[in-house]
């Protein structure tokens, strides 16, 4: 089997207030659970697209990166820009705005977009951002991969395509 592609966003490694909102006693407990969920799905050579809000501080970010499986690419949110040096040192590929994954007919960004390149040609828009932006397949053909919407873990491109095919 070839390399799988996985997607996730809004992990916020190290963010204590969000850990409490998510029902954890500490950021460390939340981070450990997200890392476990990630590594249960992602093999070391798989590709992961993180669609923003990776971490809350450099130490938590570096600790997570060192423990996570996969070759990680990040489409940066506003928060992630301040971690450019960390991402570069840790070998994470960084992108801003949006990225088109032509092989899968997908446009990815941190925030949901009302319009995107190739939308009229049935491309799929995958984004992160606030969990209030629910996936909308019937009219918009877009998925929100905020980890809170997917059991605090990544979802594979294959699973998203399977869901899309069931709706069509």
What local confidence, expressed as pLDDT, does residue 34 receive? 98
Contact 124, 106 (CB under 8 A): yes
Range 85-112 average pLDDT: 91
Among residues 37, 47, 146, 61, the alpha carbon closest in space to that of 104 is found at: 47
Give φ, ψ of 98 to 5 degrees.
-140, 165
Q: Where are the beta strands (DSSP E) in 14-137?
A: 47-50, 71-75, 93-95, 98-101, 106-109, 124-127
* pTM for this predicted structure: 0.94
pLDDT classification of 166: cutoffs 50, 70, 90: confident
Structural domains of the chain in order of their starting residue, each with its CATH number: 5-167 (3.60.21.10)
CA-CA distance, 111 to 85, in Å (whole number)?
23
Among residues 4, 3, 9, the alpha carbon closest in space to that of 150 is found at: 9
Strand ranges of the sheet holding 142-144, from the earlier edge strand across to the other edge: 98-101, 106-109, 124-127, 142-144
DSSP symbols for 62-76: HHHHHH--SEEEEE-
Residue range 41-83, pLDDT digits in tens? 999 999 999 999 999 999 999 999 999 999 999 999 999 999 9
pLDDT > 70: percent of the chain: 95
Mean pLDDT (the chain, rounded)? 91
């Amino acid at each position: 089997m070839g390399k799988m592609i996985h997607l996730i966003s809004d992990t916020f490694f190290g963010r204590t207030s969000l850990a409490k909102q998510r029902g954890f006693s500490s950021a460390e407990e939340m981070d450990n659970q997200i890392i476990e969920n990630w590594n249960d799905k992602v093999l070391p050579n798989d590709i992961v697209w993180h669609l923003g809000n990776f971490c809350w501080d450099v130490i938590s970010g570096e600790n997570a990166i060192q423990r996570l499986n996969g070759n990680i690419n990040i489409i940066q949110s506003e928060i992630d820009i301040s971690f450019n040096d960390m991402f570069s040192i840790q070998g994470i590929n960084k992108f801003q705005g949006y990225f088109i994954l032509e092989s899968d007919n997908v446009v990815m960004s941190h925030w949901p977009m009302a319009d995107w390149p190739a939308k009229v040609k049935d491309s799929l828009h995958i984004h992160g951002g606030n969990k209030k932006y629910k996936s909308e397949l019937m009219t918009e053909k877009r998925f929100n991969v905020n980890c809170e919407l997917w059991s605090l873990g990544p979802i594979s491109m294959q699973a998203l395509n399977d869901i899309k095919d069931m709706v069509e």
